[in-house]
Structure 1
Amino acid sequence: MVQTICVSPMFLRSSAAQEACDCLTNVLGKSPLLLTELDLSEDKLGDLDVEKLSALLMDSHSKVEKIKLSNCEKLTEKSCSVLATVLSSKTILKEMNLNNSRLLDSGVREICKGLGNRMCELKILNLSDCSISEEGYKALASALRSNPSHLIELDLRGNDPGQSGVKELTDLLQDPHCTLKTLRFLSPAAEEVFQFVTGIVGKNPLLLKELNLSNHELGDTQVNQLSVLLKDKHCTINTLQLNNSKITAEGCASLTSAFNSNPSHLIELNLSENKLEDSGVVKICPLLKNTQCRLEKLSLSDCSISEEGYKALASALRSNPSHLIELDLRGNDPGQSGVKELTDLPQDPHCTLKTLRFLSPDDDKVCQFVTGIVGENPLLLKELNLSNRELGDTQVNQLSTLLQDKHCRVNTFMLNNNRITAEGCAALTSAFNLNPSHLIELNLSGNNLGDSGVEKICPLLKNTQCRLEKLSLSDCRITEEGYKALASALRSNPSHLIELDLRGNDPGQSGVKELTDLLKSRSCKFRFLKCSAQEACDYLTKAVGKSPLLLTELDLSEDKLGDLDGDKLSALLMDSHSKVEKIK
């Protein structure tokens, strides 16, 4: 009987290589000497020493051109050093995949020793999601400069390049001796956005610190796509300009999600002139609350934000007061308490907010001027008294730009004795027609308004949104035509004014009647007379059954004077509103 003996063929130079071959044959079910691609991902290495694997790869019998060691928890700095030895040897290895293995910068530095060796002929190196930072990128760039002739593809997706990592490597592409063609930093979705943005700005957005996409009407859909790029660590933008881009709350949510994933670079964000509304502001607030957020300047002007949005911003900044130094909210409507909610913040010793911008530069100058007069911020006042300041039309015109801003909530405005004429009246009317819902009392007494000034005021009285209840125009040189204009305006919008002071003016023949006829259809108090004259008027109205201001003949015979003081009667008769020609 002949006995057959099975002898394992010995091809390999060292026992270490043979041991690796035997181990991998068991794991893979096939001899690695028959493979050109060796997949040892997910820790298929098991207990096999990397040094023994390297002995196998460096043996001339190995035909492995591509090796995968992705998701290998056991890869250490020492392992990377051994792999570098393989790269430095004369092998046919062309591709190495180490994705999702925590190499860190220390491991990459070891790999780079092999890449920088002139013997290395590796063409593709995959290092995505390997916890590599700026120092690792610098090491790779240095290695490829020293040996630029072989590597054509480098994948670094999912790592953090820091401030200069991307530039260190993209600069290599300009080297005529460098064969690197594909430098992959981004996912396919982010790469698509990258190409789109590059088409707009004409530059690589990964190399930009400021990205201006304003006035491109991106809309929420494209902003959602842009957010995929912004959340990638390779995007290190400090300033993002997106004003007038048709963004709503949906786009705000995407941006917040992106910057919460990648919060450490953004310093300035401009979302002005988008219809964010309060819901959009609420979506932004989680970014402001993020303690890793480094945002210093946020622009939200003309974003249709109201009181609730202001409150949400104030709440977010109270919870994380340490970074934002400038907030722009011009062109929004803060409601009753919005301005106060935010102006209280700078009183917090932990709050870094220095600039809270509600007003345009010109309006801000006026605000400072008024503050200098009254000693308080006029945006926080319900009553503003600038009487007897001789402002004149020029300063009133400037003041009007402040009054038309929604951040100005003045209810009572006193401007008596300020040398205001029709020009100033026109400016004030324009301002209050733009911001009509707060003014309740306006005092323009003692100004030379004349009939032309009254005519400029009348469009405000006709405005159905106007809430004015009390208007003082005493001693304003108003005549019959002015009274008629007032009567006409009040007929067209009778619902709000309850007191009109016209003392010290001259109503002519019909001025008083024009206005008192209105009393039949509305409840309004007209004040035509000084105190003593008014007492006489009230007394005589009861005595004769009709207002003496409507009479040309006054019959006080038969002791109808009663207890009325003669001086008071004289005051009435001497008032310009009295048209009495004959008295008995």
Structure 2
Amino acid sequence: MVTSNSCKITQVRLCDCDVSDEGCAALTSALRSNPSHLRELDLSGNKVRDSGVKCLSAVLENPHCKLKTLRLCDCGVSDEGCAALTSGLRSNPSHLRELDLSWNKLRDSGVKCLSAVLENLHCKLETLRLCDCDISDEGCAALTSALRSNPSHLRELDLSENKLRDSGVKCLSAVLENPHCKLKTLRLCDCDISDEGCAALTSGLRSNPSHLRELDLSENKLRDSGVKCLSAVLENPHCKLKTLRLCGCGFSDEGCAALTSALRSNPSHLRELDLSWNKLRDSGVKCLSAVLENPHCKLETLRLCDCDVSDEGCAALTSALRSNPSHLRELDLSWNKLRDSGVKRLSAVLENPLCKLETLRLYGCGFSDEGCAALTSALRSNPSHLRELDLSWNKVRDSGVKCLSAVLENPHCKLETLRLCDCDISDEGCAALTSGLRSNPSHLRELDLSWNKIRDSGVKRLSAVLENPHCKLETLRLRYCGVSDKGCAALTSALRSNPSHLRELDLSWNELRDSGVKCLSAVLENPHCKLETLRLCDCGVSDEGCDALTSALRSNPSHLRELDLSKNKIIHSGVKRLSAVLENPHCNLETLRLHNCDVSDEGCAALTSALRSNPSHLRELDLSGNKLRDSEKEQLFSLKLQDLRV
């Protein structure tokens, strides 16, 4: 169809569609015949490889080609393929506006070729993403040299997860200080940058602060000195930064004090602030509170996960939010010791009718059912905004869940995600929870009750929610919940009545045994079942249960993307049956985990034979903990999977 002169398709999106270099060659051959209409091409997540990109290059160099967006993320492209691609772009550089080559091993040599395009004055590229491309400071130097020659068009640059180091960032700084540079988004997460590199970067931004809207320097060791340098940019009245991420940057309350002092001078622009995994302590949060209570502060997202904050710091934070409650939409205080007293203070914010918080994460905050009661009392007063609530790893207990149930049954409650992992809940608490959900089942999309002893009786009550045709739950996690084959039978009976919504099911570390898995198989073989992720790690399954499971998957193989059968005694006969699913051309499985499954060389041989018949989908294979011969391992390595563990 693409070859037809009457074809005027402007967008082709084939992300994760099992396109190989051969398929890419056919596609580009068609595009060469009719190149003038296409504006967007996305081949991400396909094994296009260098040979496919070379074919694509012939399209790009055609003067009639007016492609604006090209995404080749995770396509197995190397520096050789990048060289061919950029050769095509050099011939016709003026139309492309977005290029994403992330998660390809372009290396410095590939980026140097790309730089020859960027320095061309006819190049008007606005978005360039090169995340995790194996680039060093040498490649960054070439890239920024090109941008210095042609700085005015680029709006978004993502170089995250490359080892740019301080020397690379110093080169980049020379681009940022150019008054013609109008970069809006800069992501340098995990680039091996220290406070020295941050100082150079912020020096560039001080010269030209008005354009940048998003800055991500997470997972770099900026320390207090680096954050202090950055603060000089933030306090500039011309700075209009909206998103700042400094997660895991090794700074303390001292750095936070400098940062918030700057934000007090210029509070009205910032919308997202992530300071997680830094030791801000209560003193740092108190400084931050002075920003939040400012009526000009319009912060929407605040993440302070694992910042060494106690109930004292939480008191200061919530006091500020009571003064200015209407803007915040996401708050993450997880892994801080807020305790019941801190959560009670937070509840005073939540019950305010002006509070419109949509996401609240408080996992691992050391509070009990008392704190949960205060929290849910507040939510009963103002239930309509919250969409995600995570209270995992707190001692909420049955009494706390009973309070929460009164929120869930409220018809104004529209909660979509509820996580109560390891909350000391029993089947009694699960009964209260499911009673609330039966009254209002249509909104919840994700439920995690893992590591609670809800047992078969709790799962049976939960099943009454799942079989409700108004229930649209997509993710259900019940890891280590004391469920047996009897509970699994009730669960799967409910899913048979309403199979079309669930996408992820995790029943790992329960004694389901073969009989439970056989019941589950009746759901999987239903053509309306569209389950994409199934985790059954350490469920007491043998080759008999695996036989039932794979029989069902043979009937309905196209939806499942991830299967985890680790720590079950599947042995070689079970693996042979599983291999019959894998060799089915309709099978789209991407992740298969068979860790410690007693798989023999014979089973491994069947598995590799099946994968050779249908090699294109599987990305991750875990056979670690099985006693395989070196010869069988070599056969597996020949498959060249992205992630192979043996």
TM-score (norm 1): 0.33
Bigger Cα Rg: 1
TM-score (norm 2): 0.30
